[in-house]
Amino acid sequence: MDDVVIAGAGPAGAIAGIVLARAGVRVRLVDRATFPRPKLCGDTVNPGALAVLDRLELSAATKGAMPVEGMLVTAASGVCVAGLYGDGVQGRALSRAKLDAALVEAAVAAGAGLDDRTTIRGPLHEKGRVAGLVVSAGQASTRAIPARAVIAADGASSRIARALRLAWHPSRPRRWAVGAYFTNVAGLSSLGEMHVRRGRYIGIAPLPAGLANACVVSADPSVIRRAAASLLDVVREDALLRDRCAHASMVSRPVCLGPLAVESSACGVPGCVLAGDAAGFVDPMTGDGLRLAMRGAELAALAVLDDLQSGTGDAHRRLAESRRREFALKWRFNRTLRMLVGSPWGIRAAARGAEWIPGWLQHAIRYAGDLQAT
- Please write the tens of the pLDDT for every residue from 196-248: 888 788 999 999 999 999 999 888 888 777 777 878 888 888 888 999 998 99
pLDDT at position 368 = 59
Please give the residue that has the higher pLDDT: either 167 or 372. Answer: 167
R_g of the chain, CA atoms, integer Å: 20
| pTM of full prediction above 0.85 | yes
pLDDT at position 236 = 84
SS (H, E, C) the chain: CEEEEEECCCHHHHHHHHHHHHCCCCEEEECCCCCCCCCCCCCEECHHHHHHHHHCCCHHHHCCCEEECEEEEEECCCCEEEEECCCCCCEEECCHHHHHHHHHHHHHHHCCEEECCCEEEEEEEECCEEEEEEEECCCCCCEEEEEEEEEECCCCCCHHHHHCCCEECCCCCCCEEEEEEEECCCCCCCEEEEEEECCEEEEEEECHHHCEEEEEEECCCHHHHCHHHHHHHHHHHCCCCCCCCCCCEECCCCEEECCCCEEECCCEECCEEECHHHHCECCHHHCCHHHHHHHHHHHHHHHHHHHHHHCCCCHHHHHHHHHHHHHHHHHHHHHHHHHHHCCHHHHHHHHHHHHHCHHHHHHHHHHHCCHHHC
Q: For residue 115, name the pLDDT band (cuts at 50, 70, 90).
A: very high
Q: Could you give all domains of the chain from N- to C-terminal order, each with its CATH number?
A: 1-43+96-172+260-339 (3.50.50.60), 45-94+175-258+343-374 (3.30.9.100)
Residue 151 main-chain phi, psi, to 5 deg: -115, 120
Please give the residue that has the higher pLDDT: either 87 or 61. Answer: 61
pLDDT greater than 90 at residue 21: yes
pLDDT greater than 90 at residue 363: no
Query: Please, are residues 10 and 100 in contact by the beta-carbon 8 Å criterion?
Result: yes
199 Rama sector, left if φ>0, alpha if ψ -120 to 50, beta otherwise? left
What mean pLDDT is predicted for residues 125-143? 92
Q: How confident is the model over 344-358, as pLDDT tens digits? A: 555 555 555 555 555
Query: Please, are residues 175 and 53 in contact by the beta-carbon 8 Å criterion?
Result: no
What mean pLDDT is predicted for residues 286-309? 91
Query: 103: which residues sit within 8 A by CB, 6+ positions away?
Result: 11, 14, 15, 18, 58, 61
pLDDT at position 3 = 97
Least confident of 260-269, 280-289, 362-371: 362-371
- Geometric angle at alpha carbon 226, from 221 and 230, rounded to 5°: 85
Neighbours of 57 (CB within 10 A): 10
Q: What is the mean pLDDT of the chain?
A: 87
pLDDT at position 171 = 76
Residue 20 main-chain phi, psi, to 5 deg: -70, -45
Stated length of the chain: 374
The CA distance from 5 to 114, in Å, is 10
pLDDT greater than 60 at residue 122: yes
pLDDT greater than 90 at residue 149: yes
Query: Please, are residues 234 and 216 in contact by the beta-carbon 8 Å criterion?
Result: yes
Please give the residue that has the higher pLDDT: either 50 or 342. Answer: 50
What distance lies between CA 326 and its chain's CA centroid?
A: 17
Alpha-carbon dihedral sign for residues 6, 10, 11, 15: positive
